[in-house]
């Protein structure tokens, strides 16, 4: 399945989640306690894989759940026609390994160099049923994933390609530190992946990207970076639903 893996006694890398229903309105992330991180680390295996490595196949027996600590993973499935459909991009602190009936509903593959923790569900379930706080944290995390899924659904609901792509770029930009003006946003995935995520064809993504660049909204630097040149107008396109 994975290239290299070694049991690790070190504490699990910071794993952040948001409350299921946040009454206070605070945006601060919940952090696991040191003990909880150690618990997870004790049952987990740290794995590092190279780009394009398959982490698990669609419909394979779901024996583990995964937590990204470094890099980007895509969760996807092949449609009957053979066209791929990307269900989600997973970034550090994200969980993946959604299953139904004991089998993974999607396949997962590394996009970049990736480090993740592999947590056997059998042992994880024991932990969760034993530690209400831990279960609560996972609940918060899955709730966050649910919001992301709804956001994506909202995104691909709009009929116009420009709006979809603009929304995607803004979304990707949100997870980069906006230190300097005109942030350089990394796009580790391929155009095909973006197309498969947005529900567009590769050609549409390519054309729309060029159009946004011609209009001076963004500037692509290489294939894996975008510079947001005119955030205001870009935001206007995004809001124009």
Partner DNA sequence: CGTCATTTTGAGGTATTTCAACGAAGGTGG
Partner DNA sequence: CCACCTTCGTTGAAATACCTCAAAATGACG
Q: Which residues in this chain contact DNA in the complex, by CB under 7 A?
A: 51, 159-162, 190-192, 199-210, 220, 222-224
**Which one of residues 146, 176, 184, 211 is an interface residue with a second copy (CB under 8 A)?**
146
Q: Which does 161 bind (CB under 5 to 8 A by kind): a second copy, DNA, none?
A: DNA
**Which one of residues 1, 54, 122, 176 is an interface residue with a second copy (CB under 8 A)?**
122
Segment contacting a second copy by CB under 8 A, of 22-30, 166-174, 180-188, 219-227? 22-30
Q: Which does 139 bind (CB under 5 to 8 A by kind): a second copy, DNA, none?
A: a second copy
C-beta separation of 170 from 75 below 8 A: no
Number of helices and strands in the chain (H, E): 7, 16
Query: What angle, 0 to 180 degrees and rounded to 10, lies between the N-to-C axes of helices 161-174 and 132-157?
Result: 150
Q: Which does 126 bind (CB under 5 to 8 A by kind): a second copy, DNA, none?
A: none
Q: Does 152 bind a second copy (CB under 8 A)?
A: yes
Distance CA 57, CA 83 (A): 16
Q: Does 131 bind a second copy (CB under 8 A)?
A: yes
Segment contacting a second copy by CB under 8 A, of 7-15, 49-57, 153-161, 218-226? 153-161
Query: Can you spell out the DSSP letters for 128-187?
Result: HHH-HHHHHHHHHHHHHHHHHHHHHHHHHHSS-HHHHHHHHHHHHHHTS---SSS-EEE-
* Tokens 């994200």, located at residue: 94
């Amino acid at each position: 399945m994975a290239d290299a893996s070694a049991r690790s006694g070190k504490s699990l890398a910071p794993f952040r989640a948001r409350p299921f229903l946040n009454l206070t309105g605070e945006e601060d992330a919940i952090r696991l306690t040191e003990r909880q991180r150690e618990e997870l680390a004790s049952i987990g295996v740290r794995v590092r894989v190279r780009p394009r490595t398959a982490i698990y196949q669609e419909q394979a027996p779901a024996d583990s759940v995964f937590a990204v600590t470094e890099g980007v993973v895509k969760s996807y499935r092949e449609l009957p026609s053979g066209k791929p459909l990307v269900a989600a991009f997973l970034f550090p602190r994200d969980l993946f390994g959604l299953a139904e009936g004991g089998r993974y509903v999607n396949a997962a593959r590394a996009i970049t160099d990736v480090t993740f923790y592999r947590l056997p569900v059998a042992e994880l379930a024991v932990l969760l049923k034993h530690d209400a706080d831990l279960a609560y944290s996972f609940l918060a995390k899955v709730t966050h994933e649910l919001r992301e899924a709804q956001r994506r659904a909202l995104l691909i609901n709009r009929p116009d390609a420009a709006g979809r792509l603009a929304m995607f770029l803004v979304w990707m930009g949100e997870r980069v530190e906006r230190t300097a003006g005109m942030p350089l946003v990394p796009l580790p995935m391929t155009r095909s992946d973006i197309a498969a995520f947005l529900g567009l064809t590769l050609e549409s993504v390519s054309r729309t990207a060029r159009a946004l660049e011609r209009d001076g909204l963004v500037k692509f630097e290489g294939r894996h970076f975008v510079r947001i040149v005119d955030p205001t107008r870009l935001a206007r396109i995004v809001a124009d639903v």
